[in-house]
Amino acid sequence: MTLTLLLILLIGNSLLYRSLLNPIVIQTGLWLMYYLIFWHNQAYFAVNLDDIAPFIGLSCLGFSLGGLICWGLYEKVLPEIAIPEPLYDNALFVKNLSLFYPIVLLSLGFTLPMVVKEVGQFSWGDIQELRNTLVENDGKRFGLYGLIQTLSSVYLVLLLTNTSFSWRNGILLAVFLIYTYLLGSRGQLIFFVIPLAYDLLWKNKISVGQAIVGGLMLMGFIVLITIGRASDFSWESIVPMLLTYSVASLPALSLASIDPVPLLGYNTFRVVWLWIGRLGFNIPVAPVISEWISTPLPTNTYSYLKPYYMDFGMVGVFVIPLLLGFVYNLLYFRAKRFHITSCYLLGFLMYALLMQPIEEQYFRWLTNWFYIVLVMFFLKKVEIKWLDTK
């Protein structure tokens, strides 16, 4: 039943939107691939397809329906989003990118020695220990490193998609990749590569074939990193290891117990409650790192549906993806009308979309999304005269 639904959604969305870059098409194809991988390897898990099928079916149906509603209302109810904004009328945007180059390079350069000092012996254990320190207590100790890394990634994507590659761009890219490697962040590497590839595809600067080859290379690199981090690696453990990182999330979610939440949206809106708590209010905040669970493959990722399911049950599994699907298609249609901000925001949100089978990166990343929107607005709308040397 779920497989039939996914096939109908994929074919229907493909015929409706006629584009491989449409987020609704990508999301349906992604979860169909997840379903097939789990179906082929379900012997490794303590649950079967019937246990995870409702999560996949409801969420994909909601996401597609949200996109369909946006498509249907686009021209009639929301006429203001159809106002074109020339994509290539971006002289101020490119100028600001150039002016901020030394600031980004100096930010990475000044903090890189501190990161090197924290890493120690450059072993996988040292890198992983620093990575754990970065995220514990919501980044109170080394959160600045993560923020610099995220904003540098955003800047690099915008720079590389708006300018020709040069030795200056190459230097900044090299420093950023070293920085990312030392912080042990596979997620940040994915966050850089996916928006870059999507935006280059959107501008027809690379082909679909080149994007696929690049994606396979990225997956291979991440697999090598994962293997390198394993202390007890053996060739027999490759398949279970890959399944743990790819499809163990929904089995984990189906086995997780639902506890009463102390307030509305306790898991979904944890970042909101976190910031309210920092203002001095006594508000409980959900843990940033989930508990490990045996599926029997051990994992602490539960897919992007976990907070919605824990807070709102199966209603949340349907409604919140519906809202996300609406937003994605809204950005997609605005981008098709040559709206610069929507084009790039859609590219960055592709990271969260492709991370759906692993973990939630929408509300959990709310602070980062705020910074990203702020950076986009600043680069596009604000004329920075005090940095202009001309």
d(CA 157, CA 155): 6
pLDDT score, position 10: 96
Q: Provide the pLDDT confidence category of residue 250 given band limits of 50, 70 and 90.
A: very high
Mean pLDDT, range 212-224, rounded to an integer: 75
Average pLDDT, the chain: 84
Q: What is the DSSP letter of 40?
A: H
Mean pLDDT, range 5-14, rounded to an integer: 96
Tens-digit pLDDT profile for residues 105-157? 999 988 888 777 776 655 555 566 666 666 555 545 557 788 888 999 999 99
Half-sphere exposure of 55 (CA within 13 A, CB side): 28
262 against 25, higher pLDDT: 25
d(CA 283, CA 278): 9
pLDDT score, position 389: 46
83 has pLDDT over 80 = no
Mean pLDDT, range 44-69, rounded to an integer: 94
Q: Provide the pLDDT confidence category of residue 264 given band limits of 50, 70 and 90.
A: confident
Q: Which of 239, 251, 358 is nearest to 294 (CA)?
A: 251
390 has pLDDT over 50 = no
Greatest mean pLDDT range, 217-231, 277-291, 358-372: 358-372
359 DSSP β-pair partners: 303
pLDDT score, position 232: 59
Q: Contacts from 108-114 at CB under 8 Å and sequence distance 24+?
A: 108/148, 108/152, 108/172, 108/175, 108/176, 108/179, 109/175, 111/144, 111/145, 111/148, 111/179, 112/175, 112/178, 112/179, 112/182, 114/145
pLDDT score, position 312: 94
Residue type, 229: R
d(CA 29, CA 58): 15
Mean pLDDT, range 232-260, rounded to an integer: 81
- Three-state SS at 19: coil
173 has pLDDT over 80 = yes
Give the global pTM.
0.89
pLDDT score, position 105: 92
Mean pLDDT, range 309-315, rounded to an integer: 94
pLDDT score, position 121: 57
Q: Rounded to the nearest 5°, which phi and psi values hold at 294?
A: -95, 130
Half-sphere exposure of 153 (CA within 13 A, CB side): 30
21 has pLDDT over 50 = yes
Tens-digit pLDDT profile for residues 318-369? 999 999 999 999 999 988 877 778 889 999 999 999 999 999 999 999 999 9
CB 20, CB 208: distance < 8 Å: yes
Greatest mean pLDDT range, 91-100, 145-154, 213-222, 310-319: 310-319
CA 139 to chain centre: 19
Find the range with the poorest average confidence among 1-15, 194-208, 226-240, 349-363. 226-240
pLDDT score, position 336: 85
What residue has token string 């709102």? 312
Q: Specify burial of residue 215 (Cβ count, 10 A radius: 0-12, 13-18, 19+).
A: middle
Q: Provide the pLDDT confidence category of residue 316 given band limits of 50, 70 and 90.
A: very high
65 has pLDDT over 90 = yes
